[in-house]
Amino acid sequence: MSSVATETAVTIQVDGQEVAVPEGATILDACDAAGVETPTICYGPTLTPVNVCRVCVVELDGSRALVPSCSRPAEEGMVVHTDSERVRHSRKMVLEFLATGVDVSQADELGQWADHYGADPDRYVPGGQTMDEPVRVQDNLYIRDYDKCVLCYRCVEACGDDAQHTYAISVAGRGFGARISTEFDVTLHDSACVYCGNCVAVCPTNALQFKTEFDLRQADDWRPEDQTVTQTVCSYCGVGCNLELHVQDNQIVKCTSPDDHDVTKGNLCIKGRFGWNYV
Amino acid sequence: MILLWGSNAREAHPIFFHHVLKGIDNGARMYCVDPRYTSSAQFSDVWVGIDVGTDIALANGIGREIIHAGLANLDFIAHSTQGFEAYAASVEPFTPEAVAAICGIPAEVVVEMAHAYATADTAQILWTLGITEHHNAVDNVLSLCNLALLTGHVGRWGSGLVPLRGQNNVQGGGDMGAIPNKFPGFASVDDPDDRARFEAAYGRELNPVPGWHLTLMFEAMERGDLRALYVIGENPADSEADVLHARAQMESLDILVVQDILMTRTAEMADVVLPASVAWAESDGTVTSSERRVQRVRPAVSPPGHARHDIDILCDMAEAMGDELGPRDPKAAWDELRSLSAMHGGMAWERLEAAGGLQWPCPDEDHPGSTFLHGWLWADDLEGREPAPFSVLEHEGPTEELSEEFPLRLTTGRALDSYNTGVQSGQYDSPLRFAGLDLNSQDAAGLGIADGDRVRVCSPRGSVEMNARVVSSLPRGLAFTTLHHPELIDVNVLTNPDWDPKSGTAEFKAAAVRVELVDAPETAGAPVG
């Protein structure tokens, strides 16, 4: 007898609310299903969790330590607390630590959560301290500003196993000196980079920025509130990648791709990502 | 199991290749058949570096080995195919040793590929222009189809034959009847019943004689039978093989009209240029991708200056000739198409919006669309169709043989950062851009050519200067360049115009050439600055 496999549902409790999710779903998925918003940094819907930022942690009954909701699978009967004192305190401190060593001024989502939890990085390092590195502008496609990098690994994952399989970048150095780097810190041009920009697309802090956005910000003319986003289809090759064209003043200023489209899963190649400027 | 044949998808279809990589990560073995060790081949388990134009010999050899090893799917062959005996007899001379000699690969590889393909649970054959830009393009394709028919790797989930289309709407163009002998939905111009259906819908008599495809048009220009040409979004003055000859034909026209978004070389030759809006970013409509997925394009910006939408230009042209083409509304045009093409019938505009695209055939509004074709091969009654035919195919090799005068094989192709004749992709600052000739290191050394030297490439049709790049991974005797920079390298001056009578495609992949060092210009004593 042929039958369609029914997805086994798993029921867990999030902040007192029963919620059913398919087997294999994470606690984060359950929080989403319950309508509970969760801060994330290293998590991306198209990326394998690397569990480095710890900002999505929740309290799980029976577990000694807080657990990362983005990677912990939901199991039947779990009781999860996302807004306990312990969770709030932990998330606040993660956000504070990040902001003491990194310029998070363009990490909008992080900033909103920092406000939400009352994070105050100045109580550790007044004014904060960054590596104070110059912005790397090596071509006309994208820039790297590692003072804004929180080492979330999303770019490394997107460049590597999760999408592009180019492996142009990884984490080099230790402690405060740790940073994302090409091999031996060579320029992008001398590295394995193929300029797909999939790293830029997943960066949560604007450490990686399209050159068009960087230039407009330098000119103090980057106005997201005046931008429209239109979904269309790339004109190069026959794959049918969906593009999101970000337009300001009737000019395309940025090109992204929807995470939830089967064809691209948020990814593009150099042509689709950057080849629009004749329009 | 993935058989990537004559395709450098890593560069030409990069996001499709992400899906291939997912398969490889999940344990699929990949064999990459390509004369060049491409960036796609670097991800393969086995690179099968055949000589240019020996694809049929290899396919026939794989077929023979599958039959001899008892790995043919005899039930499937008996039920779903015809012509097996003649095919089996035709591949008999293609022993692994014979194939090894023709293709320039080890005999064991032929055997290994045959076994890997035939014994895989699911297997895909993926190909592009490495198969189709030959004088025997259709035969090359049929040789791959034979392998699928031999093993039953077709018409079911995960197994199939996958031609990767090169343009974002080349599939849609064909679907809409932009083929000389077809109406929308692949109805035939010369079929009285099909024609009657379209005559009723359009309210007029239609020409029953199939038209010319591009290659036949150039022959008609040469004969003087074609005197006026209206080119929309195509750049034949750069893209045709033996392009000097093609340009001469276009120069001889009484009138050339070009409708395009940018000033191409073809547009520069035109008597009238009609500036068009950019279809994918400035106008409304649909395109159909390689996987038959119909998706919406939408206007993100307004067209500049006098640029107008294609639909308005075409309707105005018709009006100027005293006719009406119907409403100037993409949705209305789409609904007309749906009423005439059964495979699009269920693709309501609203469904395309909501689903993010649908794959044809999608005959009614409850149909989810089709992820693969040819499932009928597995139906008890074949859904009333004739069994699929095997094809008996001869190995021919390239039409232009190497000679003392032209000892190197030149093949052309694509690079990651560029697209076709570079009209669009030449406009952005790609750090990867390279325009030049890839030469094998030993060949280069033998010719006294170093990396970066200026060389002259000569074929029986002309000669072109370019810079050489010495590439150790390129097989001896093979030279490679892309078609992306005709303003710098007019490569189609060199390419072989011999074309496949079944497809109209020229043998871009195989010309015979000679490469010479261009003497360095006299610099001693020259004023500096």
Collect all residues of chain A within an 8 Å Cβ-Cβ radius of residue B431. Answer: 138-139, 141, 188-189, 195
pLDDT tens for B375-428 read 999 999 999 999 999 999 999 999 999 999 999 999 999 999 999 999 999 999
Q: Which residues pair with A144 in a beta bridge?
A: A136, A208
* A222 touching B (Cβ < 8 Å): no
Size of interface A-B (CB pairs under 8 A): 145
A140, A194, A245: residue with CB nearest B416: A194
Was domain B170-359 assigned CATH 3.30.420.40?
no
Collect all residues of chain B within an 8 Å Cβ-Cβ radius of residue A245. Answer: 281, 300-301
The CATH architecture one would assign to domain B2-158+385-389 is: 3-Layer(aba) Sandwich (3.40)
CA distance, residue B237 to nearest chain A CA (Å) = 20
% pLDDT > 70, chain A:
97
d(CA A267, CA A246): 16
* A2 touching B (Cβ < 8 Å): no
Burial B248-275 (b: 16+ CB within 10 A, else e): ebbeebeebbbbbbeebbbbebbeebbb
- If you classify domain B408-517 with CATH, what class do you get? mainly beta
pLDDT tens for B37-59 read 999 999 999 999 999 999 999 99
ipTM of the complex, rounded to two decimals? 0.94
User: Which 8-state DSSP code applies to residue A208?
Assistant: E
pLDDT tens for A178-192 read 999 999 999 999 999
Average pLDDT over residues B241-250: 96
d(CA A24, CA B201): 53
Mean pLDDT, all residues of chain B? 95
Average pLDDT over residues B118-144: 97
* Residues 6+ positions from A221 with CB-CB distance below 8 Å: none
Q: Which amino acid is at B452?
A: G
Per-residue confidence (pLDDT) for residue B327, from 0 to 100: 86
B226 within 8 A of B212, measured Cβ to Cβ: yes
B130 within 8 A of B6, measured Cβ to Cβ: yes
Domains A9-83 and A136-274 agree in fold: no
Was domain A9-83 assigned CATH 3.10.20.740?
yes
Per-residue confidence (pLDDT) for residue A148, from 0 to 100: 96
Confidence of residue B60 (pLDDT cuts 50, 70, 90): very high
Confidence of residue A7 (pLDDT cuts 50, 70, 90): low
Chain B residue with minimal CA distance to A211?
Answer: B429
Ordered alpha helix ranges (H), B106-258: 107-119, 129-132, 137-151, 170-175, 192-202, 214-223, 236-239, 243-251
Three-class SS state of B529: coil
CB distance A236–B425 less than 8 Å? yes
Please provide the distance, in angstroms rounded to a whole number, between the alpha carbons at the two ends of chain A. Answer: 55
Confidence of residue B165 (pLDDT cuts 50, 70, 90): very high
Per-residue confidence (pLDDT) for residue A125, from 0 to 100: 86
pLDDT tens for A68-82 read 999 999 999 999 999
Q: Are strands A9-14 and A79-81 parallel, antiparallel or unpaired?
A: parallel
pLDDT tens for B423-454 read 999 999 999 999 999 999 999 999 999 999 99
pLDDT tens for B280-327 read 999 999 999 999 999 999 999 999 999 999 999 999 999 999 998 888
Confidence of residue A128 (pLDDT cuts 50, 70, 90): confident
d(CA A217, CA B111): 60
> Percentages helix, strand, coil for chain B, rounded to the nearest 5?
35, 20, 45
pLDDT tens for A132-176 read 899 999 999 999 999 999 999 999 999 999 999 999 999 999 988
Average pLDDT over residues B337-356: 94
Per-residue confidence (pLDDT) for residue A6, from 0 to 100: 53
Joined tokens for residue A126: 């007044």
Token pair 């039947």 in the structure block, residue: A76
CATH match for A136-274 among 3.30.70.20, 3.30.465.10, 3.90.1200.10, 3.10.20.30: 3.30.70.20
The ranges assigned to domains in chain A are 9-83, 87-123, 136-274
* B310 touching A (Cβ < 8 Å): no
Collect all residues of chain A within an 8 Å Cβ-Cβ radius of residue B300. Answer: 228, 230, 232, 245, 247, 252
B16, B167, B302: residue with CB nearest A250: B302
The ranges assigned to domains in chain B are 2-158+385-389, 170-359, 408-517
CB distance B25–A250 less than 8 Å? no
